Amino acid sequence: MIRRASAVLAILFFINFLNYTDRFVLSAVLHLLKTDLHLTPEDEGWLATAFTLGYMFSSPIIANFADRWTRPRIVALCCLVWSLATLACGLAIGFKTLLFARVLIGVGEAGFLTVGPPLIADAFSKESRGKALSVFYTGVPIGCACGFVLGGLLPGLHLSETLAIGWRGTFFTVAIPGIAIAAVAWVLVDPPRGAQDTELGIHAPLPKQGTIWEQLALFRNRTFGFVTLALTGIAFATVPLLHWLPQFFGNVKHIAPSKANVMIGLTLILPGILGTLLGGWAGDRISKRGIPGGYLMVAAVGLVGGLVCLWVAILSPRPWIFLPALFFGVMFFMSCTPTLNTTIANISAPNARAMAYATVIFCMHAFGDTVSPLLFGKLIANHGLERAFLFMPVALLVSAAACIAGIFTIRGDLARTEERVTQLVRKTHVPRTR
């Protein structure tokens, strides 16, 4: 059994990396799928929406089990599900089979991202939680980049003079590691819930599942509402932008598809890693100075800075301007990922964290990227790709405003959460003699 917190973090990071590789490889090979499976622009939108529907509706269900069962085994099963579904994408014979596989990928990934962050939060202290989650979330840019790079390079490689890997072989290639790592995740040790959130430590872990009142307390938490709104706006804007980014590079910037995918991958990976790590580090530093809204401050700056850089990248016709602007835009945006997710962990009771993340996931997708790809497809049809790219990021202004509002409410919400946790521990455990 694997017990060390650093080893648990390393394994969950790698699974998160595979998670985003499998998710975004479809965007990189979409131009090939359109030809072979005769997909329409509306079909493309439905592929993104199908993933989101599976992701959205399964997360609360899996969260309910996550607060009852051994979490690493849920991680292992979810990893296996989405890896097999990615394999099924390579076997798709038409739009409907591909659509069904995308739904299953959403189900598997939702389970992992509902369970993974709370598991890390219980393995690390509050002082190091931001850094730990920032390491975990570096899997996002690395995975996205690898999805685009592998999707751009693998289809053109030949196994022999007459046999190319193609888009089907690309799906097979990215699916296999997930099947293997699922076996490793099965033997992780589940840390006690709340061990890092009370002075009683591991000698007084919380019950596995929070009561209905503890879960309903989330909806009375104003900061939780603001963070949920911020992440919903981010999902609304960024998911369709990433999905259509290869086509934007090709149709607007006039870059060949294979070259565009590699450029996107390289533009995502380094600034994504830097932004994620710097965001977690900056949030920890500010919070240690007694400023509980430190993580939200970093997120607000990241959203505004990223939005300005993104608009510069979209409007500039010169590569020496739009590529650096995209670089810094990604860095700013990725600083929001660890900061907002650390805030969720800190303001929710430890035995209700899985439900907290599931609630955020549901809202992000119900009101965010379930509808935005379809809206984006209609914007492209009516106004063109460049104008659609200019319009969608406006939602990020709402996200920035929500982060700023949360700065003024988080101190009271943190105090109330800590008081509830302390009362629950003292009610169910006798403190050890010191």
* Residue 255 in domain: yes
pLDDT at 204 over 50: no
Tell me what the mean pLDDT of segment 277-303 comes to: 91
Percent of the chain with pLDDT over 90: 37
pLDDT at 351 over 80: no
pLDDT value, residue 189: 87
Tell me the per-residue pLDDT of 19-52, one tens digit each, with 9 for 90 and over: 999 988 998 888 888 888 888 877 887 887 788 8
The closest alpha carbon to 147, from 4, 25, 288, 269, belongs to 25
**The tokens of 50 are what?**
């199908």
* Residue 434 in domain: no
The closest alpha carbon to 299, from 400, 405, 412, 406, belongs to 400
158, β-bridge pairs: 164
Q: Which amino acid is at 201?
A: G
* Residue 316 in domain: yes
What is the rounded CA–CA span in Å between residue 79 and residue 105? Answer: 9
Give the confidence band of 83 by pLDDT, cuts at 50, 70, 90: very high
Q: How many domains would you assign to the chain? A: 1
CATH of the domain at 59: 1.20.1250.20
Tell me what the mean pLDDT of segment 231-236 comes to: 93
What is the rounded CA–CA span in Å between residue 157 and residue 163? Answer: 9
What is the rounded CA–CA span in Å between residue 152 and residue 156? Answer: 8
pLDDT value, residue 344: 93
* Residue 433 in domain: no
**The tokens of 74 are what?**
């849920």
What is the rounded CA–CA span in Å between residue 256 and residue 254? Answer: 7
**The tokens of 100 are what?**
């069904």
* Residue 364 in domain: yes
* Residue 142 in domain: yes
Give the confidence band of 18 by pLDDT, cuts at 50, 70, 90: very high
pLDDT value, residue 252: 81
**Which is higher by pLDDT, 41 or 289?**
289
In this structure, what is the dihedral angle of CA atoms 262, 334, 197, 112, given to the nearest 10 degrees? -40
Average pLDDT score, the chain: 85
**The tokens of 389 are what?**
């790219």
**Which is higher by pLDDT, 261 or 134?**
134
Decide: helix, strand or coil at residue 164: strand
pLDDT value, residue 368: 85
* Residue 78 in domain: yes
What is the rounded CA–CA span in Å between residue 344 and residue 335? Answer: 15
Give the confidence band of 403 by pLDDT, cuts at 50, 70, 90: very high
Beta carbons within 10 angstroms of residue 406's beta carbon = 28
* Residue 374 in domain: yes
Percent of the chain with pLDDT over 70: 90
pLDDT value, residue 432: 46
pLDDT at 182 over 90: yes
pTM of the predicted model as reported, rounded to 2 decimal places: 0.80
Lowest pLDDT segment from 174-178, 278-282, 341-345, 347-351 = 347-351
Q: H helices of 154-221, where?
A: 166-185, 212-216
Give the confidence band of 298 by pLDDT, cuts at 50, 70, 90: very high
Tell me what the mean pLDDT of segment 361-380 comes to: 84
Tell me what the mean pLDDT of segment 189-194 comes to: 79
pLDDT value, residue 207: 53
pLDDT at 340 over 60: yes
Decide: helix, strand or coil at residue 162: coil
Give the confidence band of 297 by pLDDT, cuts at 50, 70, 90: very high
pLDDT at 66 over 70: yes
Find which of 142-151, 206-215, 314-323 is predicted with most confidence, using mean pLDDT: 142-151
Which residue range forms the structural domain that includes residue 377? 5-428
What is the rounded CA–CA span in Å between residue 72 and residue 182? Answer: 10
